[in-house]
């Protein structure tokens, strides 16, 4: 019988570990560019990225139902409200606290269980033909309830997570009572019942169905890029962007977030991936493909964003995005009561 040395056994064992190095991402972001980025991570580290794609609700349900048997290491999704809600259900664990992560991500955009990997702002789009500079002067989110906008506003349904987080931020800053009155004013000002996605709101303004719309920043750049066809590209050219609350706390900011799942089987690899997503290389990949704002300093947004939305605006760095999940139930209650 041929003898096998201890060194051979050790080498085989270690090689097997290297070959098995992997990280499992439950991914609710549906961008081809993200998959390309994970491929670059694998090239650099040898860690294989297993992507389980799906809608946020389905992925969250699966993670919670599988519990300790879940293979998920990271849950990556759009909106801090979703990550906060998962934390509230006990599905996440601490550990995203490395020096690299702390140095890259400002405190208000992270917790020890999930961190922002890219930023987005929810702003106002308007028709320059029908909305004057005087009307917009000093405009705030609170101002969306001003009767002067009656019949002139479009916005998505209350079930939309972006709106849930916006209203949650208003609760954090103004309280439930004031936010409830605000929601009633917003509903009274709607040009039509809420329908469609963010791009549909921008298209409604371009078509003259409304004068102002609320939508996330990256949608305009996406439309202008031509990736959504000539009709949307033309419509995007008919509206202008406005950043609210510039004289106060700043424009409402949200994030795409990476959350560390409780019981993650590949925790160290998951942390390594998050650290990679916060490098200049990865951040530039996000900004140039998904048109989000970079999370880290020293990286510029896409030229499409800079040229059509601007770069020099005051961000709300006061409101912690962790409050979006905490105030989510109250936000839904308020919008439902207002008939949103």
What pLDDT, in 10s, does the model give residues 94-135? Answer: 999 999 999 999 999 999 999 999 999 999 999 999 999 899
Topology classification of domain 120-252+319-337: D-Maltodextrin-Binding Protein; domain 2 (3.40.190)
Which DSSP string corresponds to 118-161?
EEEEEEEEE-TTT--HHHHTT--SGGGGSGGGTT-EE---TTSH
| Average pLDDT of the residues in 13-26 | 67
pLDDT at 327 over 60: yes
pLDDT at 19 over 90: no
Q: What was the pLDDT predicted at 31?
A: 86
More confident residue, 95 or 11: 95
| Average pLDDT of the residues in 242-260 | 98
Burial (Cβ within 10 Å: 0-12, 13-18, ≥19) of residue 133: exposed
| Average pLDDT of the residues in 180-205 | 98
| Average pLDDT of the residues in 309-319 | 90
Give every CB contact of residue 88 below 8 A, 6+ residues apart in sequence.
325, 326
| Average pLDDT of the residues in 250-271 | 98
Q: What was the pLDDT predicted at 310?
A: 77
Q: What was the pLDDT predicted at 133?
A: 87
Q: What was the pLDDT predicted at 295?
A: 97
Helix, strand, coil tally for the chain in percent (to 5): 50, 15, 35
Task: Indicate if the alpha-carbon torsion angle 308, 313, 319, 320 is positive or negative.
Answer: positive
Give the least confident one: 49-63, 155-169, 304-318.
304-318
Q: What was the pLDDT predicted at 20?
A: 66
- Per-domain boundaries in the chain: 6-118+255-301, 120-252+319-337
How would residue 276 be classed by pLDDT, with cut points 50, 70 and 90? very high
Q: What was the pLDDT predicted at 3?
A: 40
> Are 6-118+255-301 and 120-252+319-337 in the same CATH fold?
yes
| Average pLDDT of the residues in 313-323 | 96
Q: Domain 6-118+255-301, CATH 3.40.190.10 — does that match?
A: yes
Distance from C-alpha of 144 to C-alpha of 140, rounded to nearest angstrom: 7
Q: Report the mean per-residue pLDDT for the chain.
A: 93
| Average pLDDT of the residues in 318-337 | 97
pLDDT > 90 in the chain, percent: 91
How would residue 16 be classed by pLDDT, with cut points 50, 70 and 90? very low
pTM metric for this prediction: 0.91
């Amino acid at each position: 019988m041929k003898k096998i040395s201890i060194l051979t056994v050790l080498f085989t064992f270690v090689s097997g570990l290297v070959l098995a190095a992997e990280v499992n991402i439950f991914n609710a972001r549906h961008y081809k560019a993200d998959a390309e980025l994970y491929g670059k991570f694998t090239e650099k580290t040898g860690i294989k990225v297993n992507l389980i794609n799906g809608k946020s609700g389905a992925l969250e349900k699966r993670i919670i139902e599988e519990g300790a048997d879940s293979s998920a290491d990271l849950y990556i999704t759009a909106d801090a409200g979703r990550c906060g809600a998962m934390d509230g259900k006990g599905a996440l664990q601490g550990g995203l606290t490395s020096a690299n992560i702390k140095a890259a991500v400002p405190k208000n955009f992270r917790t020890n269980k999930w961190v922002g990997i890219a930023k987005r702002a929810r702003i106002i789009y308007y028709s320059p033909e029908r909305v004057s500079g005087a009307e917009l002067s000093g405009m705030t989110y609170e101002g969306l309830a001003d009767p002067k906008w009656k019949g002139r506003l479009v916005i998505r349904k209350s079930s939309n997570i972006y709106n849930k987080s916006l209203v949650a931020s208003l609760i954090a800053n103004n309280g439930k009572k004031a936010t409830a009155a605000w929601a009633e004013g917003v509903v009274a000002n709607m040009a039509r019942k809420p329908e469609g996605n963010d791009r549909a709101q921008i298209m409604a303004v371009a078509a003259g169905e409304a004068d102002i719309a609320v939508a996330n920043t990256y949608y305009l750049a996406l439309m202008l890029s031509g990736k959504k066809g000539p009709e949307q590209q033309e419509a995007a050219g008919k509206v202008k962007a406005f950043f609210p609350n510039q004289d106060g706390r700043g424009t409402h900011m949200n994030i795409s977030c990476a959350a560390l799942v409780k019981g993650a089987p590949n925790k160290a690899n998951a942390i390594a991936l998050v650290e990679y997503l916060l490098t200049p290389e990865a951040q530039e990949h996000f900004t140039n493909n998904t048109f989000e704002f970079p999370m880290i300093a020293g990286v510029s947004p896409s030229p499409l964003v800079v040229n059509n939305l601007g770069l020099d605006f005051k961000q709300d760095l006061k409101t912690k995005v962790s409050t979006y999940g905490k105030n989510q139930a109250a936000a839904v209650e308020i919008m439902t009561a207002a008939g949103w």
